Amino acid sequence: MSAGSFDFASLLPAGLPAPAAKWTGAPRYNFTGGNNDADQVPVDGLIAAAEAVLRREGRALASYGLKSGPQGYRPLREFLAHKLMHAAGISCSFDDVLIVSGSLQALDLINGVLLARGDTVIIEQETYQGALTRLNRLGVNVVGIPLDQDGMRMDALAAALADLKRRNVRPKYIYTIPTVQNPTGTILPERRRIELLRLSEDYGVPIFEDDCYADLIWDGRRPPALYAMSKTGGVIHIGSFSKSIAPALRVGFIVAGWQILSRALALKTDAGSGALEQMVLAEFCTPHFAAHVPKLRRGLRGKLETLMAALNEQFGTAAEFDDPKGGIFLWVKLPDQVDTLKLYQSALAAGVAINPGPEWSTNQGHSRSWMRLCFASPTKDEIIHGIAALAEVCRKEFGVPARIANVERRA
């Protein structure tokens, strides 16, 4: 079909986001996004699971929602209830779980249930870009709370809550990624979780807990989920199979009381999330998840070590970072003169994609010279060559690092 000359521009409603750019292929060295390690997708296991579950139950695909109802494939919800109990201390039944199309849909549904234009929410100062863009689009006021090496700072949260109360503002929720935070990689210790729950209860502000990286802690030991620790039910918990199995499957979940789930379900007007993915995941995960995840973690840890070594070699002291306790990202501070929004542009032109800090923060000044690097999807070779190329671009543009691989360069 020809492109035609009909012009839709005058029909577009106000407030649409800027148009998407056409995809022009992946950059040579891609450190962006929450992509996973291609070699760690359990392809053979997924093939066997797909064959087994389709042979046994394939005819159920004839009905919307299979025969499990609108909350999602029941064996997957049963697997999750069991896993969440063992891994995160969450005591829930399959009936408290709603399967969604990736945890991004969980963000949309919970926002849809709780937020109206002009509302206020509290989030971590550095946070998931997908959460930030949604809140901005909804016209919600965002209060960012600084983090330290143990995640969200409770003194700053207490001060923000008190300040909002003085101004008669009751935030709609406190959104947090407490267990391997995106982008900082921090884990909120148990004593801070107790404090966070106390503040949430004192001020009557629920917690929105996004736990999608919780399976990826190197030593496998995590504090209990906020949802598990709450005595009042004022926590909504979301998670995903994107980071533990594969993001392209688009399967996530919400765990919450019926008061919230019933509202989220009423907004979920897509006639159910993809059933085949749910069936395959349930069939694979029930017997194999516990063995798959430690292997995945070991592989990711190896790639992180490659990345940290490459940064040390290429940037020396010009790149500062903490060794994260898990996950797929490294949050890196470059010298103050580096504007990572500019670095992003020149690096992309040289085939290296990075996430500039300001896109992951409510505080543009503070995050100006930070960048987020995903180490899960590039190969170790790509990590080594990509970081060398990035250092070269950074030196040309900003004069740092002055020494690359311990060799002094002229700017």
Ligand X SMILES: Cc1ncc(COP(=O)(O)O)c(C=O)c1O
Q: Residue 332, interface with ligand X (CB under 6 A)?
A: no
CB under 6 A: which stretch of 4-12, 99-107, 292-300, 378-386 binds ligand X? 99-107
Position among 92, 98, 104, 197 found at the interface with ligand X (CB under 6 A): 104
Q: How many angstroms separate the CA atoms of 165 and 224, rounded?
A: 29
Per-residue interface string for the shown chain with ligand X, residues 18-37, x marking contact by CB under 6 A: ----------------x---
How is residue 94 annotated by DSSP? G
Nearest distance, CB of residue 238 and ligand X, angstroms: 7
CB under 6 A: which stretch of 87-95, 102-110, 162-170, 295-303 binds ligand X? 102-110
Nearer to ligand X, 184 or 314 (CB): 184
Q: How many angstroms separate the CA atoms of 382 and 31, rounded?
A: 10
Nearer to ligand X, 181 or 230 (CB): 181
Quick count: other Cβ atoms within 10 Å of Cβ 201? 15
Q: How many angstroms separate the CA atoms of 115 and 264, rounded?
A: 12
Position among 96, 124, 210, 215 found at the interface with ligand X (CB under 6 A): 210
The DSSP line for 119-184 is -EEEEESB--HHHHHHHHHTT-EEEEE-EETTEE-HHHHHHHHHHHHHTT---S-EEE--BS-TTT
Nearest distance, CB of residue 202 and ligand X, angstroms: 26
- Sign, CA torsion 72/76/81/85: negative
Which segments of 167-263 are extended strands (E)?
A: 174-176, 207-210, 235-240, 252-255
Q: Residue 212, interface with ligand X (CB under 6 A)?
A: yes
Map the footprint of ligand X across residues 249-278, applying CB under 6 A. Answer: 252
- CA distances to 76, 123, 132, 157 from 127, rounded to whole Å, are 29, 7, 7, 15
**Beta-bridge partner residues of 217:** 326
Nearer to ligand X, 103 or 367 (CB): 103
CB under 6 A: which stretch of 11-19, 20-28, 36-44, 239-247 binds ligand X? 239-247
- Sign, CA torsion 219/221/226/228: positive
Query: Site for ligand X (CB under 6 A): how many residues?
Result: 14
CB under 6 A: which stretch of 110-118, 133-141, 240-248, 345-353 binds ligand X? 240-248
**What angle do helix axes 275-315 and 43-57 make, rounded to 10 degrees?**
170
Nearest distance, CB of residue 308 and ligand X, angstroms: 21
Nearer to ligand X, 213 or 315 (CB): 213
**Site residues, ligand X (CB under 6 A):** 34, 102-104, 128, 130, 177, 182, 210, 212, 240, 242, 247, 252
